[in-house]
Each structure stands twice: as structure tokens, then as C-alpha cells.
Chain A
Amino acid sequence: MCLAIPGRIVEMVDADLQLAKVEVGGVRRNINVGLLEDDCLQIGDWVLIHVGFAMSKIDEQEAARTLDALEEIGAAYRQELEDLRESCID
């Protein structure tokens, strides 16, 4: 139920049919943006695509926040490894 992929809106194709063209890594497809009427989509926005429909607008700030949280864990881990290495040399 879950294959959905982030794509970037590159063109608004047909307002009546609620179609926009998205691009994912060089592949383009027209998709229906009718489920995101309230989000006032624009070219350059990222949306989550599932069976030819945009399901949600991707919040780039939240993405960055999630990655930051992961990076923090990463930094702490690298620090621990450093400390371990140094303690071994001692």
C-alpha cells in the first residue's frame, strides 16, 4: 500500500484536470494534484507521489530537521569512536 516517491513539480499542466508534471531523478510524469488543492502548489514544490496522485506536500524544513536529529546521533557516535581510539592509544 506504500510505494510512494518524492518528486519535484516542474510544470502545472492543466488546472481543470488538476494535472501537474513532476520529475524524479530525470523521470517525468503527469500526476493528479487534486488531493492537495488546499496546499497551493507551485513549481519547485516537492510532493509524495502514489499511483499517479500527489498525496502530500513534502516539508523540506521537516526533512532537514529529521536529518539533523540523525546527524546528532551520528556525531555522538563518531565522537565515541574517537574517544575509544584515543583511549586505546593511551
Chain B
Amino acid sequence: MVKDSLSEIGLPRRKPPKFTAERIDMSHGAGGKATHKLIEGLLLPALDNPALAPLSDAATLYYNGVRPVFTTDAYVVRPLIFPGGSIGELAVNGTINDLAVSGAIPIGLASALIIEEGLETSVLRREVEAMALAARRAGVCIVTGDTKVVERGKGDELYIVMSGIGMAPHGLQLSAASIRPGDKILCSGTIGDHGIAILIARGNLELEAEVRSDTRALTPLTTALQEAAGDGLRIMRDPTRGGVATVLNELARDSDCGIVVWEERLPVKEVVRAACEILGLDPLYIANEGKLLAVVAPDVADPALYAMRSIAGGEESTIIGEVHSEPARMVLMHTEFGGTRMIDMLIGDPLPRIC
């Protein structure tokens, strides 16, 4: 009896959780367990439909033989500009990436701007130009949008909501359900860059460091990967809020498999590692905006890696782990030190600690 309950402890629940919090707090926006509870316990039951159910980065629709892929994302970033980019660029790349990792070619973007009264026009112009440049680079156009102005104090300067639509190649089936023991997990480059860049740019921790956001459109990477891996490509994800750890946990849960990663293979820039050590943060939980995680069949792992390394932004691609059958729905890490530990899903915002 005891053994059964122990083996069930903390396993991601198979029944949808009920959302019981009386108020929304910051942890609900962090991308971890609290966010999942909100989505699965409040949004999903109310909205309930088959296209939404998989809760992927983008939804595949079906209409008269055509399969458009549809996504949306809200961009709430402070400060608006940071080393490596700004909110405008982030918004375009981020939405393109949700389409790209679903295997789709982005064909159009729609952007809603929620502007706080008093925002300097020069700031708005700069961001719109940043959006235009990012879109041009990615070969997509922003074809429609909306603009609203809210009263001073109600809007944090600028919020951007960016929706995107793309077309997936016929017959493409990317899903966690196709993940098998033996599959390899690829990561396209260093993790934690974006989140740490933002944390430092905010200024209240008074840290100085050269860390740039990694924001970029992943379409060249995803295209190269799809070509090289072919049918051996199981699924692609971009580890944004909640970091690599959250995505790995979602993959483990959705595939009913176990995932094992090797700490020594995780690519982390020294300066990001140092910032995390100082603040007591773990790079695995920090947001990325230009990185790709992919699960591929073992026989295509090497060609996939080679292909990714030949693309700008993917030069540091590595195989960071593999899929096992046990422990199911859990993520383990073999530490550099020679031990093993679990990587659990993030709960709320990763908070710097002193203990």
C-alpha cells in the first residue's frame, strides 16, 4: 500500500486539476505548474475543443483539406529594450517560433498593440520598426492588427499581442505521442541567455554582465532539421517561459516516457552560469527566445545535429539527453558530479534566493 502511494506521489496528474485559487498571482504567469493549473483547470474546461486539447504551441485546424496552423502570444516585457533585442522583435520572433516548431511555414502575422497613455512616439516608432525588420528578416508580413490606448498607469508602456498563421506540410505528424525510448533530445544552443539578460536589464539586482537575449526566428533551423531528420523527427518545442526543464517535463508527461539528460552536456554560457550561481537560480528554468528542443529517432540524431550546426543560431547544437521507458513521466539528470537528481517542473517564477 505504501509502495503504491509512494510511486504515485507527485506524478503529473492524469485527471485535469481544478483551479481553486481565489486570485491570480505572478506564479500563474511563470509558465510552470501554476500556469498549467490555470490552463488545464480553468481555460481548457471552459473552451473545450479538440484543436485546443493537445495544448501545443500552435493549433492545427482542418478545413476542406487544408491544414492551417494557428497561434497567438502576448508579449509583456520590462524593460522594453534589452541587450540583444526589444519587445517588437521578441513579439515577431516568438510567434513565428510557435509556428516553426509545429513544422509550419509562417505565412502571416497579426499584431495588436496596447499602448499606455503618455508613451513617447519615438519609443512606439522604434518598436514598430523593430517588428518590421524582424518580419522582413523572417520573410513574413504583418498583414493586419489593432491599436488600443489605455490610461496612464494601466499599461506598463506597451503590450503586444501577436497572432500568426502558417501552413504545415501535408502529412506532417509532430507530437509527443510519437516519442519512443531510445530517442535523442537535441538542444540548439546555450540556455538561459534571454531570461538572465532581462533580469540584468531590469537593474534592481545591480548586476553588470554582458548577456544578450537570444531572440531569433527559428524557421531556418526547423526547416533544416525537418529535412535532415525526415520521419525520424518526433516533435519540436521552443523552451520559453519555464525554460528547458518545463518543456522536458511536458514531453515526459505527454509521451508517458522518462527523460534523462546529462548535466555536462547542457550548453550554458559561463556568464549565465555565474549569474545563476550568484542568485541561486537554475539555468534549466530560465526563459529562452531563440532556442529549439527537438526529439528525434536515434538513427537520424547525427545528421540532424549536423544540419542544425550549419545554421546561424544553431552552431552550438548538442544532444543533451535521451528518452527511456522508466521512470515514466519524469525527468532525471545525471549530474556532473556523478550522481542523479530529478528535474521537476517549475512552480512559479524562479526567485533569487539567499539560502
Contact = CB atoms under 8 A, between A and B. Distances in A.
Question: Are any A and B Cβ atoms less than 8 Å apart in their complex?
Answer: yes
Interface of A: 1-3, 5, 24-30, 49-51
Given A25-B273, A26-B271, A51-B354, A5 B209 contact: no
A50 B354 contact: yes
B278 interface: yes
Contacts of A5: 277-278
Contacts of B4: none
B278 A28 contact: no
B353 A25 contact: no
A26 B355 CA distance: 23
Contact of A24 (B210, B274, B280): B274
A3 B208 contact: no
A28 B354 contact: no
The dominant DSSP class at the B interface is mixed
B11 interface: no
Interface of B: 206-210, 270-271, 273-275, 277-278, 280, 353-355
B279 to A, nearest CB: 8
A1 B353 CA distance: 9
Given A3-B280, A3-B353, A51-B354, A28 B207 contact: yes
A5 B354 CA distance: 11
A53 B4 CA distance: 48
Contacts of B210: 26
B354 A26 contact: no
Contact of A27 (B278, B353, B354, B355): B278
A58 to B, nearest CB: 15
Contact of A1 (B207, B278, B354): B354
Nearest to B208: A28
